[in-house]
Amino acid sequence: MLKPHLKKKKVKIKKYGDGGFVKVNHEVREGHEMEFDQLSNQVIGCALEVHRVLGPGLLESTYEQCLAHELSLSDISFKLQCPLPVKYKGIKLDCGYRIDLLVNDELIVELKSVDQIMGIHQAQLLTYMKLSGAKVGLLINFNVEMLKTGIKRFVL
């Protein structure tokens, strides 16, 4: 079986909202990056539908359950409140970390319903990405008038 060719390249990230994004050099398989973009876009489409129906101002847990329902309707596999152990000196420790949504075992989605995304929210997502080995993450804040201003996409 042929192995996909690996090459270094600069990752360009489409801007969703008004925040900054992580842009780093990393190895990707040819064609693999497109799969992430398509998956991110599908999840964002589901989030837009949830926000269109509900609007801002509800609890994070409400948006989480509704987004899970939308992902199910779209036949997108996910895990809800997925435990994330910390690996320390060769052992896995359950320190209580939970990923809001792990989509297709490759995309981390962290949901918020806050006045404003803060640095600590971005740091949380980036930490979860590093601990899990996920290369792509979405940070979605539903407590905004237009959801596109509440979406940030990160790539390691």
Domain annotation covers residue 51: yes
41-63 tens-digit pLDDT: 999 999 999 999 999 999 999 99
Q: How many CA atoms lie within 13 A of 111 on its CB side?
A: 29
Residues 78, 93: Cα–Cα separation, whole Å: 23
Domain annotation covers residue 151: yes
Phi, psi of 117 (to 5 degrees): -70, 130
The pTM for the full model equals 0.77
- Residue owning tokens 């803060």: 118
> CA nearest 61: which of 102, 101, 94, 95?
101
Domain annotation covers residue 5: no
What is the reported pLDDT for 39? 95
- Residues in Cβ contact with 106 at an 8 Å cutoff, skipping those fewer than 6 apart: 36, 39, 134, 135, 136
Residues 96, 113: Cα–Cα separation, whole Å: 21
Q: Which ranges of the chain have pLDDT less than 70?
A: 1-36
Query: Exposed (0-12), middle (13-18) or buried (19+): which is 95, by Cβ within 10 Å?
Result: exposed
Domain annotation covers residue 131: yes
**What's the domain count of the chain?**
1
* Inter-residue contact 78 to 103 (CB < 8 Å): yes
Task: Determine which helix (DSSP H) or strand (DSSP E) holds 136, and give its type and residue range.
Answer: strand 136-141
Domain annotation covers residue 94: yes
Domain annotation covers residue 2: no
Domain annotation covers residue 8: no
What is the reported pLDDT for 2? 40
What is the reported pLDDT for 37? 82
Range of the domain at 56: 17-155
Domain annotation covers residue 12: no
What is the reported pLDDT for 32? 47
What is the reported pLDDT for 70? 97
